[in-house]
Amino acid sequence: MLDQIESTTKNIRSRTANFFPTVGIILGTGLGGLVKEIKIEHSIPYHEIPNFPVSTVPGHHGQLIFGDLGGKKVVAMQGRFHFYEGYTMHQITFPIRVMKALGVTTLCVSNASGGMNPNFEVGELMILNDHINFFPDNPLIGRNEDALGPRFVDMGETYKKEYIALAKVIALENKIKISEGVYVGLTGPCFETPAEYRFLARMGADAVGMSTVPEVIVAKHAGMDVFGISIITDLGIEGRTQTITHEEVQRVAHLKEPLMSLIVKELVKRI
């Protein structure tokens, strides 16, 4: 893996001249619009990057974007990789390893999720204050590369408290309703059955989705600070659950995109 990271980083460096990003962003559902706020200096399609997986989801552009956001040098993934697409945990998280090698110290991630906390409403934003890895896998399984991080990783403050407090201030200043909660990540691609929602809620999760956890685990292994934010696109709450489709998830996420983008842009500026 070290050789792959090195050759990919070398390739990217040769194409991005003296650009040294410190913040990495995964433009998941709800953050697509943030691209418009980035003063783009370079963009490289995934298929031109050695060792990078190629996105299979229609509508996911699949490129790495390098530019300025709120005065910070950022590298943003436009298009992420999901476990349900058939990628391995190592493939999904390879871009995070490359970000680290490029100099990134902070990772911002976004996603769409199903709300299970009875106080939640559709369209609400939730800051991740913790997660539960409910994937049947972990990207750190296998021989540990000590050069990349420790064998056993402390996950006591996976989502940096300082960023959570800052995001709440930004939301308040802009009159955006925001909650915080625990995100449980699982494989999908089915949405959950009513019994599964019930089970996940009782387990201690506030929202459920099919991404984020693998990337965040690797970011922590690499010693990065992490901020995560989710749009509640539907509810898995008894009596309030409606039929969910991918289109509906996208529709709700799109509506709230400007709010999520504002919070992340402002956060990146202030950290």
Q: Of 62, 81, 77, 56, whose CA–CA distance to 187 is shortest?
A: 81
The stretch near ligand HPA (CB under 6 A) out of 96-104, 110-118, 152-160, 218-226 is: 110-118
Q: How far is the CB of 228 from ligand HPA (least distance, A)?
A: 14
The stretch near ligand HPA (CB under 6 A) out of 45-53, 72-80, 107-115, 254-262 is: 107-115
Of 145-184, which residues contact ligand HPA (CB under 6 A)?
none
- Of 12, 92, 99, 112, the one binding ligand HPA (CB under 6 A) is 112
Q: CA torsion angle for 2, 22, 76, 229 (degrees, to 10)? A: 110
**Residue 18 φ/ψ, nearest 5 degrees:** -100, 35
Does position 55 interact with ligand HPA (CB under 6 A)? The reply is no
How many residues at the interface with ligand HPA, by CB under 6 A? 13
- Of 55, 78, 233, 261, the one binding ligand HPA (CB under 6 A) is 233
Written as six digits, the tokens of 146 are 């000590």
- Nearer Cβ to ligand HPA (161/202): 202
Written as six digits, the tokens of 189 are 């691609």
Q: How far is the CB of 50 from ligand HPA (least distance, A)?
A: 31
Does position 110 interact with ligand HPA (CB under 6 A)? The reply is no
- Nearer Cβ to ligand HPA (23/178): 178
Site string for ligand HPA, 181-220 (x = CB under 6 A): ----------xx---------------xxx----------
Q: How far is the CB of 121 from ligand HPA (least distance, A)?
A: 14
The stretch near ligand HPA (CB under 6 A) out of 136-144, 173-181, 230-238, 260-268 is: 230-238
- Nearer Cβ to ligand HPA (83/94): 83
Beta carbons of 90 and 97 less than 8 angstroms apart? no
Instruction: Write down the residue that tokens 């950022």 correspond to.
Output: 74
Q: What one-character-per-residue DSSP string does 78-132 give?
A: ES---GGGT--HHHHHHHHHHHHHHT--EEEEEEEEEE-STT--TT-EEEEEEEE
Does position 249 interact with ligand HPA (CB under 6 A)? The reply is yes
Q: What one-character-per-residue DSSP string does 205-247 give?
A: -SEEESSSHHHHHHHHHTT-EEEEEEEEEEE-STTT-----HH
Instruction: Write down the residue that tokens 């408290």 correspond to.
Output: 161
The stretch near ligand HPA (CB under 6 A) out of 5-13, 42-50, 108-116, 124-132 is: 108-116
Instruction: Write down the residue that tokens 């690499």 correspond to.
Output: 222
Secondary structure of residue 136 in the 3-state scheme: coil
Written as six digits, the tokens of 214 are 């693998």
Task: Give contact residues for ligand HPA (rule: CB under 6 A).
Answer: 112-114, 191-192, 208-210, 233-234, 236, 244, 249
